Amino acid sequence: MKKILFVASEGVPFIKTGGLADVVGSLPKCIDREYFDVRVMLPKYTCMKQEMKDKLNPVGHFYMDFNWKQEYVGILEAEVDGIKYYFIDNEGFFGGVKPYSDNALYEIEKYAFFSKAALSVLQTIDFRPDVIHCHDWQTGLIPVYLNERFQDNDFYRGIKTVMTIHNLKFQGRWNVPDVQSITGLPAHYFTDDKLEAYHDANLLKGGLVFADTITTVSNTYAEEIKTPFYGEGLDGLLRARSNDLRGIVNGIDYDAFNPETDPFIVQQYNAMNFRKEKLKNKRALQEELGLRRDENKMMIGLVSRLTDQKGLDLIAHVMDELCQDDIQLVVLGTGEERYENCFRHYDWKYADKVSANIYYSDALSHKVYAACDAFLMPSLFEPCGLSQLMSLRYGTLPIVRETGGLKDTVQPYNEYEGTGTGFSFSNYNAHEMLGTIRYAEQIYYDRKREWNRIVDRAMAADFSWSVSAKKYQEMYDWLIG
Ligand code: GLC
């Protein structure tokens, strides 16, 4: 049995702020259990739901040298859907009202602690992974520490590491003297071929330098990040490591996102009966959100973190124009205040057309995927994107910008060949986006049978984990040798 340990800062069903949690929660379940023993390690955040905290059982604790102090390291465990989870407990670091704070230095300290503790607890829990699979900057120090201090110990020698980039924008940067002092790493680790980048220490860079191999969450993003526009300053390093960098597109949990069994929606449906049944979800959502009740109106959904990454400035730029069209727009999510207020404003200005729901709700997100006709995702960059996959699964046609995973997962409609699962545009330009939305409107209103055939193809596309999980397995096999 090959042993794999996922280490990440969030994972469904315990704690989620974004797509990372969906991947960490769903991929391990899809790795072949006959050959792999996959376990997951997360921080034990005080802000986790009580019902989740109730599932955790204490395993032990010890004190660890960290940042000139002896820090408490508690270990808990839980089992969900046959997957073993471990949790690192330390209230000083994980006691906040949210998993992440705006204090960059504190975040660095928190995840440096988490990374060191994740390695330190392995002997206590008596689990020696063959591969540690690290996710995003929060775990970037794991390959570094493994290279540095854990090599003297037989238990750790030979453990391989994978670093997966879910979002290159976040790197964990802070000045070298502080990071050196916090991590206790020797000075020679802070050179420009190791942790240093642009005069700062950079935790993700450490992971990318010391990991045995690197992955990211789509093929196109794997190519994009080797260019300056998408490379966030690390494109040079990623070009240098391009032989060790591969894209493996994300899947979604096909049990959790299944219009045929979804308990959150008023009318279940499938690829056979969506023409009659899907509409009932639209009617129900119009009623619930106070939009004009008209099942023939084209309804466009947007479920997203409200950040620059998601291309919301394009939408803001043409909102008035878009709202002259015969459409409804349903927004769900939180984020930067200017976007939250922008959507609130248009909700007020076009009350029967726009519904801004500035919070997050799992239940409402499922209703939006089921009720809408189209789903808008004009991202500036998108490592993979999961909501377009959820939309496809629910027969809600994605309208996306051709970047990263959006490009790899949404096939643009071609009216001459009768192919495609959605609509897409290439340049980061508000009117190019608007033109594409209007093209979709035209198909929706004037060529409904064509529209429904696109839905047929969207619902037939397979973005379960089955293909991608095999690619991870092959990679683990290759690494372990
Ligand atoms: C990040 C990326 C998103 C990706 C997700 C899971 O949230 O922004 O594109 O789908 O991670 O990999």
Residues in the chain: 481
pLDDT band of residue 183 (cuts 50, 70, 90) is very high
Could you tell me what percent of the chain has a pLDDT over 70?
Answer: 100
CA of 9 to the centre of ligand 1 (A): 13
Closest ligand 1 atom to 18 CA = 7
Asked if residue 38 belongs to a domain, the reply is yes
Do residues 117 and 52 share a domain?
Answer: yes
Same domain, 13 and 44: yes
pLDDT at 447 over 80: yes
pLDDT for 142-158, tens place per residue? 999 999 987 789 999 99
At 327, which CATH number?
3.40.50.2000
Tell the residue nearest (CA) to atom 3 of ligand 1: 385
Residue ranges making up the domain that contains 322: 274-462
The pLDDT tens digits of the residues spanning 193-252 come to 999 999 999 999 999 999 999 999 999 999 999 999 999 999 999 999 999 999 999 999
Nearest ligand 1 atom to the CA of 22 is 6
Q: Do 241 and 288 fall within a single domain?
A: no
Q: What span, in angstroms and rounded, lies between the C-alpha atoms of 469 and 31?
A: 6
Taking CA 360 as the corner, what is the angle to CA 468 and CA 368, rounded to the nearest 5 degrees? 70
Residue 70 phi, psi (nearest 5):
-100, 115
SS3 content of the chain, % helix, strand, coil (to 5): 40, 20, 35
Distance CA 195, CA 132 (A): 20
C-beta of residue 291 within 8 angstroms of C-beta of residue 352: yes
Say how far apart CA 256 and CA 279 lie, in whole Å: 21
Q: Which atom of ligand 1 is nearest to the CA of 217?
A: 12
Q: Are residues 320 and 190 in the same domain?
A: no
Q: Residue 25 Cα, ligand 1 centroid: separation in angstroms? A: 13
Q: Is 286 in the pocket of ligand 1 (CB under 6 A)?
A: no
Distance between Cα 415 and ligand 1 center (Å): 30
Are 193 and 247 members of one domain?
yes
Q: Please state whether 197 falls in left (phi above 0), alpha (psi between -120 and 50) or beta.
A: beta
Q: What count of other Cβ atoms lies within 10 Å of the Cβ of residue 475?
A: 17
Task: Measure 382 CA to ligand 1 centroid, in angstroms.
Answer: 7
> Which of 137, 167, 408 most suits a substitution to test ligand 1, by most atoms within 8 Å of the C-beta?
167
Mean pLDDT to the nearest integer, 407-421: 98
Please give the pLDDT value at position 152.
81
Binding site membership of 386 for ligand 1 (Cβ less than 6 Å): yes
Does the beta carbon of 409 sit less than 6 angstroms from any atom of ligand 1?
Answer: no
Residue 407 beta carbon below 6 angstroms from any ligand 1 atom: no
Residue 142 CB–ligand 1 contact under 6 Å: no
Q: Does residue 414 share a domain with residue 297? A: yes
249 in ligand 1 pocket by Cβ < 6 Å? Answer: no
What backbone torsions phi and psi does residue 193 show, to the nearest 5 degrees? -95, 0
Residue type, 41: M
* pLDDT band of 339, cuts 50, 70, 90: very high
Mutate which of 20, 224, 303 for ligand 1 pocket (most atoms within 8 A of beta carbon)? 20
Same domain, 110 and 196: yes
Residue with CA closest to ligand 1 atom 10: 385
Q: Is residue 200 part of a domain?
A: yes
State in Å: Cα 24 to ligand 1 middle.
11
Of 165, 235, 246, 252, the C-alpha closest to 479 is: 246
Residues 231 and 288 both lie in one domain = no
- How remote is the CA of residue 418 from the centroid of ligand 1, in Å? 30
Q: What is the pLDDT of residue 131?
A: 98
Total of domains in the chain: 2
Residue 165 alpha carbon to ligand 1 centre in Å:
9
Chain centroid to Cα 78, Å, comes to 23
Pairing between β-strand 200-202 and β-strand 327-332 as defined by DSSP bridges: unpaired
Residues 322 and 420 in one domain: yes
| Residue at 266 is within a domain | no
pLDDT beyond 90 at 336: yes
Are residues 97 and 221 located together in one domain of the fold?
A: yes
**Residue 350 confidence (pLDDT) above 80:** yes
| Residues 473 and 452 occupy one common structural domain | no
For residue 363, pLDDT over 80 is answered with yes
What does the pLDDT look like over 270-315, one tens digit per residue? 999 999 999 999 999 999 999 999 999 999 999 999 999 999 999 9
How many A from CA of 175 to the centre of ligand 1?
27
- Within a domain: 135: yes
Residue 384 φ/ψ, nearest 5 degrees: -135, -60
* Residues 247-281: b if buried by 16+ CB within 10 A, e if exposed: bbbbbbbbebbebeebeebebbbeeeebeeebbbb
* CA atoms of 458 and 271, how far apart (whole Å): 9
Shared domain check, 206 and 307: no
Burial of 446 (0-12, 13-18, 19+ CB in 10 A): exposed
**166 pocket-lining for ligand 1 (C-beta < 6 Å):** yes
Residue 258 lies in a domain: no
383 Cβ below 6 A of ligand 1:
yes
Instruction: State how far Cα 477 lies from the chain centre.
Output: 25
Helix-helix angle 448-460:274-289, to 10 degrees: 100
Positions of E strands within 98-255: 131-135, 160-165, 173-175, 196-197, 200-202, 213-216, 245-247
385 has a pLDDT exceeding 80: yes
Asked if the structure places residue 269 within a domain, the reply is no
Q: Hey, which of 217, 304, 312, 360 would you mutate to test ligand 1's pocket, going by the most ligand atoms within 8 Å of its Cβ?
A: 217
Cα–ligand 1 centroid distance for 262 (angstroms): 23
Give the Cα-Cα-Cα angle 238, 148, 138 (nearest 5 degrees).
55
Q: Is the peptide bond before 129 cis (omega within 30 degrees of 0)?
A: no
Q: What is the pLDDT of residues 6-42, one digit of tens each?
A: 999 999 999 999 999 999 999 999 999 999 999 999 9
385 CB within 6 A, ligand 1:
yes
First vs last Cα of the chain: how many Å apart? Answer: 13
Ligand 1 neighbourhood includes 248 CB (under 6 angstroms): no
Residue 257 counted as domain residue: no
Identify the pLDDT of residue 151.
78
Our CA angle for 182, 186, 191, nearest 5°, is 100
Cα-atom radius of gyration of the chain, to the nearest Å? 23
In terms of Cα–Cα distance, which of 69, 149, 143, 81 is closest to 109? 69
Mutate-to-test residue for ligand 1 from 253, 384, 465, highest number of ligand atoms within 8 A of CB: 384
Q: At what angle do helices 430-446 and 312-322 cross, to 10 degrees?
A: 50
- Cα–Cα nearest to 75, from 139, 142, 123: 123
CA distances to 94, 207, 342 from 211, rounded to whole Å, are 26, 6, 42
